[in-house]
Amino acid sequence: MANPNKARGTAWESAVRDFLNGFLRLVDEDGRFLDPGDGMNVRRAAQEGARDVGDVHAAPFILECKDVKNPAVPSWLRQARIEARHAGFPFGVAVHKRRGMAVAVGRVHFDVRTWTRVRLLLGLPSRVMARRYGFTPTVRGLDTGRWYLTTTVAEFARLLADARGVGRRAVR
């Protein structure tokens, strides 16, 4: 890959995908899918151009992965929402790499609306949701569109497993 920034972004997307698949026990010790046809496998999405569908699909989430020095979280979250809609997924979040750190401590950002919808899906009060999954709020001025909540990739993996458990119970 000639573009080093693209290569770094692709590596981050792959690292997030691999971490989540490992946490969810969807792959064997060599990283191969246990069931390649399982729709719950976490996968990197093919680029769709103007109708981009996000970087990583971890149903019910679209992950917009960013490996950049200077974060622009509110605009990443707007992008994640749009891409989730394009992909037909209910939730879009941004995943930011922390330089020189393990994947598990990368940052996963939720806008307030998405966080609330996930909280309601899980049936949790706000304080319980924040404590259980290690969320911290960021409030930027009076514009609530710039407010967001952040956790780690490791805590997000637990939340993802729980959200999938709720979804499976609701279907039965």
Question: What sign has the CA pseudo-torsion 18, 124, 146, 141?
Answer: negative
pTM here?
0.91
* Dist CA 102 CA 104 (whole Å): 5
Which residues are within 8 A (CB) of 27 and not within 5 positions of it... i.e. 6 or more apart?
18, 21, 33, 34
For every one of its 172 residues, what pLDDT tens digit does the chain have, with 9 covering 90 and above? Answer: 568 888 888 999 999 999 999 999 999 999 999 999 999 999 998 776 667 899 999 999 999 999 999 999 999 999 999 999 999 999 999 999 999 999 999 999 999 999 999 999 999 999 999 999 999 999 878 877 789 999 999 999 999 999 999 755 443 3
* Dist CA 42 CA 75 (whole Å): 24
What are the b/e assignments for 150-165, b being 16+ CB within 10 Å?
bbbbbbbbebbebbbe
pLDDT score recorded for residue 171: 37
